[in-house]
Amino acid sequence: MVLLAAAICTKNGRCIISRQFVEMTRSRIEGLLAAFPKLMNTGNQHTFVETESVRYVYQPLEKMYMVLITTKNSNILEDLETLRLFSRVIPEYCRVIDETDIQEHAFDLIFAFDEVVALGYRESVNLAQIRTFTEMDSHEEKVFMAVRKSQEDETKAAMKRKAKELQQMRRDQHRGGRMGGMGSYGGGMSSMKMGGEIAQTLPPEPVKSKVIPSRHRTTGKAMKLGAKSKDVDNFVDKLISEGETVRSGSAKSKKSDVAKTVVPSALTESVHIRLEEKLSITAGRDGDLEQMTLLGICMLRVSDDQFGCIKVQMANALDKGCTIQTPPTVDKKAFLANSMIGLKSADKPFPTKQDVGILKWRLQSSDESLIPLTINCWPNDNGSGGCDVNIEYELQQDELELVDVAISIPVPSGVGAPNVSEVDGDFKHDSRKNILEWCLPVINSSNTTGSMEFSIPGSPDDFFPINVSFHATKRLFTGIEVGHVEFAQGGSPVKFSTETALLVDKYEIV
Question: Which residues here bind ligand NAG, judged by CB under 6 A?
Answer: 251-252, 382-386, 408, 410, 419, 421, 424-425, 435, 440, 442, 444-447, 450, 455-457, 467
Nearer to ligand NAG, 102 or 440 (CB): 440
* Among 329, 328, 300, CA closest to 314: 300
CA distances 111 to 75, 103, 158, 507, Å, are 24, 13, 35, 27
Q: Which residues of 244-255 are buried (b: 16+ CB within 10 A; e: fewer)?
A: eebbbbbebbbe
The burial of 71, by beta-carbon neighbours within 10 Å (0-12 exposed, 13-18 middle, 19 or more buried), is given as middle
Nearer to ligand NAG, 203 or 385 (CB): 385
What three-state secondary structure class fits 11?
Answer: coil
For the CB of residue 66, give the shortest distance to ligand NAG in the complex, in Å: 25
Count, in order, helices (H) and strands (E) of the chain.
12, 22
Nearer to ligand NAG, 66 or 395 (CB): 395
- DSSP-based helix, strand, coil % in the chain, nearest 5: 30, 35, 35
CA distances 344 to 151, 287, 303, 331, 337, Å, are 34, 46, 21, 5, 14
For the CB of residue 214, give the shortest distance to ligand NAG in the complex, in Å: 23
Nearer to ligand NAG, 26 or 252 (CB): 252
For the CB of residue 383, give the shortest distance to ligand NAG in the complex, in Å: 6
For the CB of residue 421, give the shortest distance to ligand NAG in the complex, in Å: 5
Nearer to ligand NAG, 201 or 419 (CB): 419
For the CB of residue 364, give the shortest distance to ligand NAG in the complex, in Å: 21
Euclidean distance between CA atoms 61 and 209, whole angstroms: 17
Nearer to ligand NAG, 160 or 433 (CB): 433
Nearer to ligand NAG, 143 or 435 (CB): 435
Torsion of CA 197, 203, 205, 206, to 10 degrees: -150
**Identity of the residue numbered 77:** L
Helices (H), ranges, 175-208: 182-192, 198-201
Q: Are 173 and 182 in contact (CB under 8 A)?
A: yes
CA 281 to mean position of chain CA atoms: 12
For the CB of residue 471, give the shortest distance to ligand NAG in the complex, in Å: 14
For the CB of residue 394, give the shortest distance to ligand NAG in the complex, in Å: 12
Nearer to ligand NAG, 162 or 254 (CB): 254
Nearer to ligand NAG, 76 or 159 (CB): 76
Euclidean distance between CA atoms 261 and 128, whole angstroms: 22
Taking CB positions, which residue lies at the least distance from ligand NAG?
386
For the CB of residue 415, give the shortest distance to ligand NAG in the complex, in Å: 8
For the CB of residue 250, give the shortest distance to ligand NAG in the complex, in Å: 9
